[in-house]
Structure 1
């Protein structure tokens, strides 16, 4: 019996305009400060690798871009084969950032372990993002 691929959802209010949040998501120098080093770029078809430390180099490819609104890329195509979507919505004087990390195969031990680990890990990643934005 197979289950539907699992999805992690997180959202966080950031007291910064969408353009600042977008820059943190798409500028490799800033991205490395809050999550992982890699040549991320907001360009459909752009392939890059994120250095996930003990979890190795994870290949990614940008599959959707709407500047200051949406960034979607495949993540860990050779192992997890998941998709990360960042969606930004203006809210008051800041931005509500929505994260969707989709496609975890819970029938696979690696998929289940990654889903559990990343489900717990993403909130702290978003906290680091907020800290980096506060330093700008």
Structure 2
């Protein structure tokens, strides 16, 4: 497999993995409408607080995850190549090490992507609840 093919495969894996990171689509917490507010007021506040929460987590979640995955794969591939060369002292061992290292880097990236999604959801929920609370909701 040529270096060009390896880079292409690494790029494809990182793009696929970036799809594993999902920005929150909405809150995972329930907030009750404030007493005395209409449903329309609640919906308006809900919409504004969702926008506020999204702004707090940022829009670069997927991009950052893809870059982190590429870095993990590159480091894993380099370490694997060094290990393969040290063990086998030939090109075949080096290439096997690269493959193993890149796979380990991809697995690390997948774990980090999952953690990033979870962390983003927690930050989103906290920001959403804070916003709705300041508007009087959730305290019945």
Q: TM-score, normalised by structure 1?
A: 0.33
Higher helix share: 2
Higher strand share: 1
| Larger Rg over CA atoms | 2
Structure of greater relative contact order (alpha carbons < 8 Å, 6+ residues apart) = 2
Q: TM-score, normalised by structure 2?
A: 0.32
